[in-house]
């Protein structure tokens, strides 16, 4: 948990304005100084049963919390709360927009992975194209499909590759640190996805690139989250994809 604790310890002071929970995404709007910032995180879901007694939305979310209190929910045993906590972190991290570059993450991985062994933790839509652009591609997934490897193979594969692109969903399912520990010191590391904190504090942990998302049209994106929009749809509603390099 060291990485998440470092992020929380360095969060900006903020007032929580809104929490939005959708089918695929959680969003938290925080007032940081005069700015209203919207952080995103992927939703984790527990298996639903007809006899489940736990509320769909834990009652503690209805309480008034400080920004740091809400961010600390990323350590909860409740998957929904971990997603909300991660979204709160992304709304309040220290960031420097001047250092962002609008760079397609597929092109980034292809460029630094040309002729090399590349591992991608998580299933992304660009993977069929990427396979033709790098030396060797290993895709690691919790529920593997053909040409993918199960999570149990992650440590072995990551110890052998030159480039590793890891979904930031691993912040929420609490597997990121073990995945980073499996990588060699010389491996180029990329965190990928809307859950990625665009915060330079992460570079001290050996990460080289942060490829994430910035919400520019909050009203449209929040409405889309409530209506169950996929990320591709949210992107069209008003999200900018950016990359921060070490």
On whether both 235 and 188 belong to a single domain, the answer is no
User: What is the CATH number for 218?
Assistant: 3.30.390.100
> Is the pLDDT at 86 greater than 60, yes or no?
yes
Q: Would you state the pLDDT for residue 56? A: 65
Q: How many domains does the chain have?
A: 2
Q: pLDDT tens-digit profile of 129-175?
A: 999 999 999 999 989 999 999 999 999 999 999 999 999 999 999 99
Task: Determine, yes or no, domain membership for 246.
Answer: no
Task: Determine, yes or no, domain membership for 172.
Answer: yes
Q: pLDDT tens-digit profile of 29-47?
A: 999 999 999 999 999 765 5
On whether both 164 and 194 belong to a single domain, the answer is yes
Task: Determine, yes or no, domain membership for 71.
Answer: yes
On whether both 227 and 189 belong to a single domain, the answer is no
Q: Would you state the pLDDT for residue 62? A: 65
On whether both 208 and 218 belong to a single domain, the answer is no
- The b-or-e profile of 123-132 (16+ CB within 10 A means b, else e) is ebeebeebee
On whether both 106 and 162 belong to a single domain, the answer is yes
Task: Determine, yes or no, domain membership for 245.
Answer: no
Task: Determine, yes or no, domain membership for 40.
Answer: yes
Q: Name the pLDDT band for 49 (thresholds 50, 70, 90).
A: very low
On whether both 23 and 56 belong to a single domain, the answer is yes
On whether both 103 and 201 belong to a single domain, the answer is yes
The three-state (H, E, C) secondary structure of the chain, written as one string: CHHHHHHHHCCCCCEEEEEEECCCEEEEEEEECCEEEEEEEECCCCCCCCCCCCCCCCHHHHCCCCHHHHHHHHHCCCHHHHHHHHHHHHHHCCCCHHHCECCCHHHHHHHHCCCCEEEEECCCCCHHHHCCCCCEEEEEECCCCCCEEEHHHHHHHHCCCCEEEEECHHHHCCCHHHHHHHCCCCCEEEEECCCCCCCHHHHHHCCCEEEEEEECCHHHHHHHHHCCCCHHHHHHHHEEEEEEEC
On whether both 203 and 218 belong to a single domain, the answer is no
Domain that holds residue 48: 2-94+213-240
- Full-model pTM: 0.93
On whether both 88 and 127 belong to a single domain, the answer is no
Task: Determine, yes or no, domain membership for 236.
Answer: yes
On whether both 55 and 19 belong to a single domain, the answer is yes
Angle (deg, nearest 10), helices 218-226 and 231-238: 160
User: What is the CATH number for 185?
Assistant: 3.40.50.11590
On whether both 194 and 122 belong to a single domain, the answer is yes
């Amino acid at each position: 948990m060291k990485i998440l604790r470092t992020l929380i310890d360095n969060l900006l002071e903020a007032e929580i304005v809104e929490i939005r929970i959708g089918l695929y995404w959680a969003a938290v709007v925080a007032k940081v100084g005069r700015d209203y910032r919207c952080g995103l995180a992927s939703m984790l879901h527990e298996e639903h049963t007809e006899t489940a007694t736990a509320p769909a939305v834990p009652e503690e979310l209805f309480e008034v919390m400080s920004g740091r209190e809400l961010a600390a929910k990323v350590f909860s045993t409740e998957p929904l709360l971990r997603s909300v906590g991660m979204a709160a972190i992304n709304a309040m991290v220290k960031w420097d927009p001047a250092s962002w570059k609008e760079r397609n993450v597929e092109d980034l991985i292809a460029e630094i992975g040309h002729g090399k062994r590349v591992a991608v933790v998580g299933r992304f839509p660009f993977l069929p194209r990427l396979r033709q652009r790098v030396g060797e591609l290993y895709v690691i997934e919790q529920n593997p499909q053909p040409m993918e490897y199960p999570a149990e193979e992650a440590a072995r594969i990551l110890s052998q590759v030159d480039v590793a692109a890891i979904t930031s969903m691993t912040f929420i399912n609490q597997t990121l640190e073990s995945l980073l520990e499996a990588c060699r010191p010389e491996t180029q590391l990329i965190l990928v996805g809307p859950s990625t904190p665009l915060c330079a504090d992460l570079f001290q942990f050996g990460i080289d690139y942060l490829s994430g998302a910035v919400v520019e049209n909050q009203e449209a994106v929040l409405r889309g989250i409530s209506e169950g929009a996929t990320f591709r749809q949210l992107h069209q509603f008003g999200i900018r994809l950016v990359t921060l390099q070490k």
